[in-house]
A and B are shown apart, each in its own frame.
Chain A
Amino acid sequence: MVRIPPRVIGPAGGLTVTVLVAGGFALGLRLDNLHNGLLAVAFTAVGLYVVRQRPDNREAWLFVATGIAQAAMFAARQYGLHTPALPAASWIGWLGVWPLPLVFVLIAVTLMSFPTGRLPAPSWRVVVVMLAVLGVALALMSALWPVEYERVPLAAPHPLDLPGADTAAAVHRVAMAIGYPAFQLAWVVCAIARLVRAEGDESRQLRWFVLAMAMTGVVMGVGLIGWGTPRPGLLAVPLVPVAAGAAVLRYRLYDVDPIIRATLVWGAMAAVVTLGYAVVVVAVGNLIGGSGTLLELLATALVAVVFGPLRGRAQRVADRVVYGRRASPYELLSRLSAQLTGPSSGLLDGLCATVADGTGARQVVLWTGPPDGLRAVSAWPAGCPPEVRTLDELAPGEPSLGGRSGGRPALGGCAVPVTYAGRTIGALAVTTGTRRSWTSQERGLLADLAAQAGLVLELRASAQRLVAAGDEARRRLERDLHDGAQQRLVTVAMELGALARSAAGAAASAERVAEGAAISAGRVEGAAVFAERAEAARQQLLQATAELRETARGLHPAVLTQDGLQAALGYLADRSALPVRLRVDVDRRLAPAVEATAYFVVSEGLTNAAKHARAQVTTVTAELTEQGLALEVGDDGVGGARPQPGSGLEGLTDRLAALDARLLVDSGPAGTRLRTVIPCG
């Protein structure tokens, strides 16, 4: 069989349809046949346009075929409907009537195959076969007997005059009552089934399609109820192929969700307002036996009062229907910037929650570190996976984002690298249900959020670097003092001690000598005074070294670096001006920044309790939990602690924020409690 190339079939089909439809319209405008012409044009035009863009799109060819069939039927009907009857009107008009069930079947199959050109599942073939059998039976009856002629006012009678017309009409009536709704029902059910199971881009395409269906349905309903005629509905049917074409080609350009949302909101509002109005005017009118302007005014006022709140509610319901739990990209970005400018604690958790909100994900994990050693720093819902992963493991086949093209990732998720200044500094991993894949819009959103995450991670890293650099500087200063000034002062004190001792010795021996010889009492006294002053100088020097030691300790406690938190907190408790109930349950060394921060939190808490709180006793607990190092410093004082600008508490808040921890200050008449949990991996 010779295969005709698409570039021949396309124009040939287009030309055929043009001739048929133009010819049909040349015979006059018939309202009862208009929709067939519009459908023919719509199907063919959309089909050919899509074919031009995507020659391999099967669905487009089905459209073209449907369009041609429609055009042929339309032209034949136009011919048959023309009055006075044209030559051979009997046979040509006949051609415009009996293929109707077959065209219906073709339309049903075309729509069932949308948008891929294939049935959603092989099992649907059974339905197609049943439809075809029904269609052929109906067409056959219609071809042999004038069973459809009652509904179509053709100028010429049925060309055949076979016996059994009455029986055929009776059978046909039953078959039509089953067949015609079945044709429509089949593709509607099919489309809904497809929409429910659709994911990603396909779901987005189907939304266009369903929107057109819904609108047509509304127009049809309004027409039937309002004017008792299906004609407006039939005329709206060409919307369906147009929407289908837009869905195939343009679904990325126009987001149809807001339109669906608006349709839902305003449809619901219209229904509510009408109903409310009817209830007030009719029901209340009947009840109190009144009517007229007063009731209408009352109804209008009532509707006006409930309109606003109702609209808000309808909007939320519509949001939920259309977006699910997902917020719009704009909402998300503004929420994220609120997170960024608000109190900085819990920034990363907020980021993960925002991503989860925006994508309807089951789990969101933010990883940081170099691409070959990523660690989870934050997760939604809470609970970071402990393992170290590489970027390749998280996002195989980057940068396809684990979409449909690169085969479905095992977890049904995707990960985007988080970069800052061209460096990969982490990854944002999102896990959804097992079947879900990603729409282009969601991917774009994820990329935007990852860019924001890059900024946040960098901010956090720089804050951590600042804290670490500050700690390191203090530690070095302490070392310098310890190894330099302190050693030197102690050595000098030792020398002074030696001097004082020898001077005292000299004075004593001189005294002994003076008893027997003529040594002046002045020399003896001089040596004694020297010894005394040397001893006084030594004492002062020791005082100075003691002060220097305290200064060095305040800078950075050596005991913390050497022996860890338990020993350092013990030291703080020993030195506290108030009794301390200390409970430390930390059985391992933590990161230097965590230990130093914990130390300063307790130090500040104890100092405040002693200075300002007029407390009797303080409580310090430190324990390792799953979330990190949990610290609590409490007292039974008068309260009033607040992290004011420039206060020690504010400094602690900033310091903790750099470690993704939040300082909770709970201060009242019952005392003050500082609490924090420092994540420490």
Chain B
Amino acid sequence: MLADDAILFREGLARILTDMGFDVIGQYGDGDALVRAARADPPDVAVLDLRMPPGFADEGIEAARAIRAATPAVGLMLLSQYVEIHHALRLATEFDGGVGYLLKDRVSDLHVLGAELRRVAGGGTVIDPDLVVRLVARRREDDPLGRLTDRERAVLALMARGHSNTAIASDLFLSVKTVEAHVTSIFVKLDLTPGDRDHRRVLAVLRFLRA
């Protein structure tokens, strides 16, 4: 189920998703229409533009909240021309997983898009790599990230994007055990409390990177 006020983009996205084997069951021009449709016939994932009519502000997040309140099982993928840290934090705080936040550019990378949509549908959290790269690259005074090894920094970035240990292991061609060791080391070095779930971990890491 899609909602975006830019028809061209929406149509193109629908066609590509269909080609990739997704079943697009509805397309809408604004958040309210999507919320009504999702309530009537809940999809696995709703893909929404963050900035939509009428206010072109954060209607996407409001619509996502409404859908989550009515039908908690629906995965929510927010797309935007910009990725903003405070939106990411808001999504991580207000939604307990099953939510994604990607730059619109990302949808042209089709297999990535497909994988991320499936993760969101499965209750995972997805944060755009651009945002994470920006946060990790951020200049800090006596940078705590300097205490991490390069490998640990790479693991931290994937954690911030919502990847589970298994996903991190396959991304970096490591064993799950090695990844777990890195994660523990990161949490100790940064003095963070590890979350019991991947989603909690995303929030903790994002907050840390933002601080």
Contacts and interface: CB of A to CB of B under 8 A. Distances in A.
A209 to B, nearest CB: 72
Contact of B6 (A479, A487, A562, A566): A487
A578 B139 contact: yes
A496 B108 contact: yes
A553 B85 CA distance: 15
Interface of A: 479, 482-483, 486-488, 490-491, 493-498, 501-502, 538, 541-542, 545-546, 549, 553, 558-559, 561-563, 566-567, 570-571, 574-581, 617
A563 B12 contact: no
A538 B81 CA distance: 17
Contact of B109 (A497, A546, A558, A574): A497
Contacts of A496: 108
Contacts of A483: 5-6
Contacts of A558: 51, 82
A538 B108 contact: yes
Contacts of B85: 570-571, 574
Contacts of A495: 12
A493 to B, nearest CB: 4
B43 to A, nearest CB: 20
B145 interface: no
Nearest to B140: A579
Contacts of B86: 559, 563, 566-567, 570
8 contacts: A479-B56, A487-B9, A490-B104, A491-B8, A498-B15, A501-B111, A549-B82, A559-B84
Given A502-B19, A580-B139, 10 more contacts: A483-B6, A487-B6, A487-B8, A490-B105, A494-B13, A494-B107, A542-B108, A549-B82, A563-B86, A567-B84
B134 interface: yes
B138 interface: yes
Contacts of B51: 482, 558, 562
Contacts of A574: 85, 134-135, 138
Interface string B79-118: 0011011100000000000000000110111110000000
B8 A488 contact: yes
Nearest to A546: B105
A442 B200 CA distance: 72
6 closest cross-chain pairs (CB), A and B: A497-B108, A493-B108, A487-B6, A562-B57, A579-B141, A494-B108
B19 A498 contact: yes
A563 B58 contact: yes
Contacts of B139: 576-580
B129 to A, nearest CB: 12
Nearest to A494: B108
Nearest to A574: B138
B163 to A, nearest CB: 22
A558 B86 CA distance: 13
A575 B86 CA distance: 14
Q: How large is the interface on B (under 10, 10 to 19, 20 to 34, 35 or more residues)?
A: 20 to 34
A493 B105 contact: yes
A490 B58 contact: no
B12 A494 contact: yes
Contacts of A486: 81, 104
Contact of B82 (A479, A542, A553): A553
A542 to B, nearest CB: 5
Contacts of A545: 105
B37 interface: no
Contacts of B66: none
A579 to B, nearest CB: 4
Contact of A617 (B6, B81, B107, B141): B141
Contacts of A577: 139
B16 interface: yes
A617 B141 CA distance: 7
Given A549-B81, A563-B84, A494 B9 contact: yes
Contacts of B107: 490, 494, 497
A275 to B, nearest CB: 72
B16 A494 contact: yes
A405 to B, nearest CB: 55
Interface string B9-48: 1001101100100000000000000000000000000000
A519 to B, nearest CB: 24
B81 A482 contact: yes
Nearest to A616: B141
Nearest to A576: B139
B109 to A, nearest CB: 6
B9 to A, nearest CB: 5
Nearest to A493: B108
A667 to B, nearest CB: 22
B84 A571 contact: yes
Contacts of A576: 139
B108 A490 contact: yes
B147 to A, nearest CB: 16
A549 B82 CA distance: 8
Contacts of A575: 134
A472 to B, nearest CB: 15
Nearest to A545: B105
A482 B108 CA distance: 17
A476 B86 CA distance: 23
Contacts of B108: 490, 493-494, 496-497, 538, 541-542
B159 to A, nearest CB: 19
Contacts of A501: 110-111
Which of A479, A486, A491, A495 is most buried by chain B, counting CB atoms within 10 A of its CB?
Answer: A491
A496 B58 CA distance: 29
Contacts of B12: 491, 494-495
B113 to A, nearest CB: 9
A507 to B, nearest CB: 16
A227 B5 CA distance: 106
A571 B85 CA distance: 8
A574 B82 CA distance: 14
Q: Which of A479, A494, A558, A617 has the most CB of B within 10 A?
A: A494
Contacts of B84: 559, 563, 567, 571
A570 B87 CA distance: 12
Contact of A491 (B5, B9, B56, B138): B9
A605 to B, nearest CB: 16
Nearest to B56: A479
Nearest to B138: A574
Contact of B9 (A490, A546, A553): A490
Contacts of A491: 6, 8-9, 12
Contacts of B82: 549, 553, 558-559
A490 B134 CA distance: 21
A579 B140 CA distance: 5
A581 B211 CA distance: 10
A538 B112 CA distance: 14
A501 B112 CA distance: 12
A491 B58 CA distance: 21
Contacts of A566: 86
Interface in B120-159: 134-135, 138-141
Interface in B171-211: 210
Contacts of B110: 497-498, 501
Nearest to A553: B82
Contacts of B5: 483
Contacts of B57: 561-563
Given A490-B107, A546-B105, A581 B141 contact: yes
B30 to A, nearest CB: 14
A117 B148 CA distance: 97
B141 to A, nearest CB: 4
A439 B107 CA distance: 77
A622 to B, nearest CB: 16
A574 B105 CA distance: 21
